[in-house]
Amino acid sequence: MATVHIESKREEIANVVLMPGDPKRSEYIAKKYLKDCRLVNSVRGMTAYTGYYKDKLVTIFPSGMGNPSMGIYSYELFKEYNVDYIIRIGSCGGYSERLKLNDLILVSASYSESNYALSMGGYKDKLLFSSEYLNNIIESVARSLNKRLIRGNIYCSDAFYELEYNYRDRVKDKDVLGIEMESFALFSNARKFQKNASCLLTVSDLFFSTEKLSSAEREKKLDDMIELALESCLKL
């Protein structure tokens, strides 16, 4: 079978999917961590791979940038490929001054002004929650690996550059740790199909500092987050 955006056969997509934003990061993860991995999708350059992490079959499927792109791929994976678990693994800008570069965030809920949930499910909610079941597993694995994990809300924006000007005023009362662009659509689709979705983020830049990860570092130097996500997959 295939969909408009995914050419894979149903059996080529695992029940558990990790979703980085960048197709190059997807390739990096697959080639570094998976055994017997194979390319299962290349439509529009969205290179997805399925293989074994230890003894667990996992698919690494890129989401692209923004709620619309994440919305398309997670929708088709949940609905047409019977995926039950998606963990987004991405980067974010840090807003809270208690964050440091490379900190790991486990997203409890995603706040957004996006109309995605309204369009796709008729929901007017602006705060969508991740899977507590998945989050508990990820937190447990983080403790066993001695990885520091910060739990909290994130702001999910549809407009990247607009936030340079009015981000702080618009979300100062929303109790968010930082900003990214995909979690809201993922959580919306998980709710629609009664599936499990979570989101792990690495802080790649800070709003109160000039520190930032380079594009090369964002592509290939997020191993703490990747390894935590993969080890969590073993529990599913």
Catalytic annotation, residues: 205
CA-CA distance, 25 to 157, in Å (whole number)? 21
Residue with tokens 């990790």: 18
The answer for residues whose C-beta is within 8 angstroms of residue 70's C-beta and 6 or more apart is 19, 63, 64, 88, 182, 183, 185, 186
**Residue 181 DSSP SS3:** coil
Report CA 209 to chain centroid distance, whole Å.
24
How many Cβ atoms are within 10 Å of 120's Cβ, its own excluded? Answer: 15
